[in-house]
Amino acid sequence: MPDEITAACSSAASYTGQQVLVTGGLGFIGSNLAIALARAGARVTVLDAMLPQYGARRFNLDPIKERVTVEIADMRDAAALARVIGGQEFIFQLAGQVSHLRSMEDPSGDLEINCRTQLSLLESCRKYNRSARLVLASTRQVYGRPQWLPVGEDHPTAPVDINGVHKLAAEEYYRLYHRVHGLWTVALRLTNTYGPRMDLVTADKGVVGVFVRRALLGETLQLFGGGRQRRDFNYVDDVVDALLLAGHCDDAAGRVFNLGYPQAYSLRELVEILGEITGTPFENVPFPRERSAIEIGDYWGDFAKLAALTGWRPRTDLAAGLRHTIAFFRRYGGEYLDR
């Protein structure tokens, strides 16, 4: 399969035989995580609400469809949660709405999806499974516009959109349920994640998905404002690796860690690398107003804390990761390019 790189393999092995729940497991990162776990011999249950437009696809779990239990249910449904939560040794929380723009258009909907679901999961764990280890996928959005670079975990949090406000609240829930109720929780702040199974349909799920889609369709890539913003990009297998390492790291409990990449790339560099792989040209266009209001400028994170504690580092460089991503979607694009 063109989507396999070795990154996640070593850390997944430590989950062999263990009972693991992946919420949002039909989505981009959740499905890659579930696949790594199932291939390593973990007993994987996936819980996903399959809310429209949130990137969940049954095809994402095609490689392990005989080896995974899939429950279609909303995490706000306490009875459904109670059904699947008992006996789970690990819970990876990947469910959520990640669109910055949509959160500004429908803040109450974002509150439901990103806050109420988390409280529902944590309350269910408090009642029915106090020994599970909970690993939350959070986001660098909680920092907002960086005051300095690289951004470490002690950088002030000042989210610039409703989605970021709610993601920060979710992180704080996990910290509180650890400190007050004794649950084992950890949160990772993900940065730009890309790779096979990423959502290519929803336009505001991240710049790499937008560019990959246009490249696959042979459309010119559009750079807002010259593409000077610099970012750090993680290939999804490296993110899966980090999630798996964090779940097994005793000293991570109650804490929050950045992911990141040793080098920042401008968006212009990103489209140039994509251009080399796919031959797609690019053009400069003005910044749309609704985007510039929530644009954070340059961002790259300091992941030294996680590296020191778990040995994690990203192993996939941007060009290699993009080549794998393009190869995956060239093979399976029919499943991913339509709504």
Give the nearer residue to a copy of itself in terms of CB position, either 105 or 219. Answer: 105
Contact 85, 129 (CB under 8 A): yes
Contact letters (x/-) for a copy of itself, 285-314, by CB under 8 A? --------xx--------------------
Q: Is 172 in the site for a copy of itself (CB under 8 A)?
A: yes
CB atoms within 10 A of CB 218: 10
Q: Taking CA 110 as the corner, what is the angle to CA 87 and CA 82, rounded to the nearest 5 degrees? A: 20
Name the residue nearer to a copy of itself (CB basis): 144 or 301: 144
Stretch that binds a copy of itself, among 13-21, 108-116, 304-312, 328-336 (CB under 8 A): 108-116
Asked whether position 104 contacts a copy of itself by CB under 8 A, the answer is yes
273 touches a copy of itself by CB under 8 A? no
The two three-digit tokens of residue 269, written as one number: 């560099």
Binding to a copy of itself (CB under 8 A) within 173-212 occurs at: 173, 175-176, 179-180
Helices (H) and strands (E) in the chain, counts: 13, 13
Q: Are 232 and 260 in contact (CB under 8 A)?
A: yes
- Is 159 a binding residue for a copy of itself by CB under 8 A? The answer is yes
State how far the Cα of 109 lies from the Cα of 71, in Å rounded to an integer. 22
- In the chain, the N- to C-terminal Cα span, in Å, equals 24
Q: How far is the CB of 96 from a copy of itself (least distance, A)?
A: 15
Figure out which of the listed residues 9, 111, 273, 304 binds a copy of itself, where binding follows CB under 8 A: 111
Contacts with 324 (C-beta within 8 Å, 6 or more apart), sequence order? 2, 3, 5, 195, 196, 235, 316
Q: Is 108 near a copy of itself (CB under 8 A)? A: yes
Considering only 157, 248, 268, 327, the residue that binds a copy of itself (CB under 8 A) is 157
Distances (CA, A) of 48 to 74, 129, 339: 7, 19, 18
With CB under 8 A as the contact rule, the residue among 9, 83, 89, 120 that binds a copy of itself is 120
Q: Which residues of 98-211 form beta strands (DSSP E)?
A: 133-139, 184-190, 192-194
By CB under 8 A, the count of residues binding a copy of itself is: 30
Determine the Cα–Cα distance for residues 186 and 251; give it in Å rounded to an integer: 10
By CB under 8 A, residue 168 contacts a copy of itself? yes
Taking the complex as a whole, how short is the minimal distance between the CB of residue 278 and a copy of itself, in angstroms?
Answer: 35
Judged by CB under 8 A, the residue of 166, 213, 214, 231 near a copy of itself is 166
Give the residues lining the site for a copy of itself (CB under 8 A).
104, 107-108, 111, 115-116, 119-120, 122-123, 154, 156-162, 165-166, 168-169, 172-173, 175-176, 179-180, 293-294
